[in-house]
């Protein structure tokens, strides 16, 4: 069994702010001491640039940096460390695939398919490359509970479809997408699929090989790691088909004024000095997370979500946005007559951190005909007593806004 009371003790932010109730984990998670220590250790004991120096600490930095690649591969079930590209985050990973993988092959009249619930980061990179190449961005519709229609998807695929990009879990309302089925359907027509794992990787057991995902992308900071480090997993055949788009040091084989040749993947996608401390922090975060059973994490967060949902029903005017089931540890909601930002401000003044707004999904908000929602997102250090405290404050909101 997961012990959230003990897990909290690993996160110094809760020691510094004993009253903080942090329900904004879909935006970023808090950092355990071991991650902070790993970054400090790097800068204190073996800070050096990688892949170049022949002295001891440079060798150690390189070794630790490359070791994390294997750790990430193992963590998500990738066949090899060679399938793992370090990026600055989910957004950069998606942009890299859009520009490098699609940029090379997309032609006028081709199509890229995304869903209606995508984060702007899994929308705009495709929109821009489609625009540049005269291709079409098609949108898989969803129903009001966030379900995509696999039948519609099946018939919308054609020879022109060059890629499907889909989020594993909606950042806005937590809907879990049937990515295994989507990948199966797509592969029947040899269409590659990119899975945005930003919201799933901290809670779900991910096995990209078993899923047969072509691309899987995520950010370190949503699984207790530092900001500014992310991962692109890609199948070897796809990496081989991709050309580098950022050029400079640490990605070249031979350089002359006439021409240059490049290293093979993944190094050719990591030009310049990368976020070495971020990689080492990510490695520590994966070690930290790996001590817990993902099944137990999932079960606990499900229990917490169900508890919060049942208590939220007590709030006057509450309605859930999305689905009661098929959802991860995110609750998106509206309260009739009270703007999401007023709710977030009032909770914030009581040290309860939630998010309000459109959650970087404007087209989804347009579809739902909502200007925004309030969003609570949970992690392994959240407690039922924290939910109770939030409910207590929310019960006062109505009186504050409309008079008792």
Partner 1 sequence: MTDQLKALYQSVILHHNKEPVGYEKRPEAGMIIEAYNPICGDRFNLYLNIVEGQLEDIHFHGFGCAISKASTSILIKHLKGKSIEEVKQLVAAYFKTVNGEAEDAPEDFAAFAAAKAFPGRMKCATLSWDELNEYLKSVS
End-to-end CA distance of the chain: 42
Distance between CA 112 and CA 207 in Å, rounded?
24
Does residue 365 touch partner 1 according to CB under 8 A?
Answer: yes
Does residue 404 touch partner 1 according to CB under 8 A?
Answer: no
Distance between CA 166 and CA 194 in Å, rounded?
6
Does residue 156 touch partner 1 according to CB under 8 A?
Answer: no
Q: Which is nearer to partner 1, 205 or 342 (CB)?
A: 342
Q: Which is nearer to partner 1, 81 or 128 (CB)?
A: 128
Among residues 48, 137, 391, 401, which is the contact residue for partner 1, using CB under 8 A? 401
Host H or E run for residue 307: helix 294-312
Does residue 59 touch partner 1 according to CB under 8 A?
Answer: no
Tokens read off for 258 = 């006439």
The helix/strand/coil state of 353 is strand
Using the contact rule CB under 8 A, the part of the chain among 66-74, 125-133, 154-162, 353-361 near partner 1 is 353-361
Q: Which is nearer to partner 1, 298 or 350 (CB)?
A: 350
Distance between CA 334 and CA 319 in Å, rounded?
6
Inter-residue contact 26 to 201 (CB < 8 Å) = no
Per-residue interface string for the shown chain with partner 1, residues 307-346, x marking contact by CB under 8 A: -------------------------------xxxxx--xx
Does residue 27 touch partner 1 according to CB under 8 A?
Answer: no
Inter-residue contact 245 to 268 (CB < 8 Å) = no
Among residues 250, 357, 383, 389, which is the contact residue for partner 1, using CB under 8 A? 357
Tokens 């790691």 — which residue?
Answer: 225
Q: Which is nearer to partner 1, 169 or 356 (CB)?
A: 356
Inter-residue contact 226 to 99 (CB < 8 Å) = no
Inter-residue contact 38 to 284 (CB < 8 Å) = yes
Kindly state the smallest distance separating residue 374's Cβ from partner 1, in Å. 11
Q: Which of 218, 247, 202 is CA-nearest to residue 92?
A: 218
Does residue 109 touch partner 1 according to CB under 8 A?
Answer: no
Q: Which is nearer to partner 1, 156 or 362 (CB)?
A: 362
Kindly state the smallest distance separating residue 196's Cβ from partner 1, in Å. 21
Among residues 371, 383, 389, 391, which is the contact residue for partner 1, using CB under 8 A? 371
User: How many other C-beta atoms are found inside a 10 Å radius of the C-beta of residue 308?
Assistant: 23
Does residue 367 touch partner 1 according to CB under 8 A?
Answer: no
343 DSSP 8-state letter: H
Beta bridge partners of 356: 374
Kindly state the smallest distance separating residue 362's Cβ from partner 1, in Å. 8
Has 360 been annotated as catalytic?
A: yes
Q: Which of 71, 72, 47 is CA-nearest to residue 61?
A: 47
Cβ-proximal residues to 257 (8 Å cutoff; 6+ apart), any chain: none
User: Which residue out of 13, 360, 370, 391 is catalytically annotated?
Assistant: 360
Among residues 362, 367, 389, 398, which is the contact residue for partner 1, using CB under 8 A? 362
Among residues 193, 372, 379, 380, which is the contact residue for partner 1, using CB under 8 A? 372
Q: Tell me which residues are annotated as active site.
A: 360
User: Where do contacts with partner 1 occur on this chain (CB under 8 A)?
Assistant: 338-342, 345-346, 348-350, 356-358, 362, 365, 371-372, 396, 400-403
């Amino acid at each position: 069994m997961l012990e959230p009371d003990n897990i909290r003790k690993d996160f110094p932010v809760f020691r510094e702010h004993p009253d903080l109730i942090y329900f904004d984990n879909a935006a970023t998670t808090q950092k355990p001491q071991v991650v902070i220590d790993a970054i400090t250790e790097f800068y204190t004991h073996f800070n050096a640039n990688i892949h170049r120096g022949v002295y001891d600490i440079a060798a150690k930095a390189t070794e630790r940096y490359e070791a994390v690649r294997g750790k990430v591969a193992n963590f998500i079930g990738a066949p090899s460390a060679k399938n793992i590209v370090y990026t600055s985050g989910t957004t950069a990973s998606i942009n890299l695939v859009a520009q490098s993988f699609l940029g090379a092959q997309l032609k006028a009249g081709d199509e890229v398919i995304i869903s209606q619930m995508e984060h702007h980061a899994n929308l705009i990179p495709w929109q821009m490359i489609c625009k540049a190449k005269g291709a079409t961005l098609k949108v898989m519709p969803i129903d009001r509970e966030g379900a995509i229609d696999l039948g519609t998807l099946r018939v919308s695929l054609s020879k022109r479809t060059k890629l499907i990009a889909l989020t594993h879990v909606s950042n806005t309302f937590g809907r879990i997408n049937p990515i295994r089925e989507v990948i199966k359907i797509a592969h029947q027509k040899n269409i590659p699929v990119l899975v945005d794992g930003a919201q799933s990787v901290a809670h779900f057991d991910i096995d990209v090989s078993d899923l047969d995902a072509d691309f899987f992308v995520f950010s370190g900071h949503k699984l207790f790691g530092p900001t500014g480090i992310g991962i692109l997993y890609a199948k070897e055949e796809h990496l081989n088909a991709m050309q580098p788009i950022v050029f400079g040091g640490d990605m070249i084989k031979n350089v002359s004024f006439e021409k240059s040749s490049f290293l093979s993947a993944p190094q050719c996608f990591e030009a310049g000095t990368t976020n070495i401390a971020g990689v080492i922090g990510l490695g520590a975060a994966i070690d930290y997370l790996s001590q817990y059973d993902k099944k137990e994490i999932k079960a606990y967060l499900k229990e917490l979500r169900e508890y919060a949902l049942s208590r939220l029903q007590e709030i006057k005017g509450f309605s859930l946005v999305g689905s009661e089931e098929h959802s991860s540890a995110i609750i998106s909601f509206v309260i009739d007559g009270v703007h999401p930002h007023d709710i977030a401000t009032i909770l914030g003044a009581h040290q309860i951190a939630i998010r309000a707004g459109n959650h970087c999904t404007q087209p989804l908000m347009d579809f739902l005909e909502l200007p925004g929602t309030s969003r609570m997102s949970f992690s392994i250090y959240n407690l039922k007593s924290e939910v109770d405290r939030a409910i207590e404050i929310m019960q006062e909101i109505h009186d504050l806004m409309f008079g008792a």
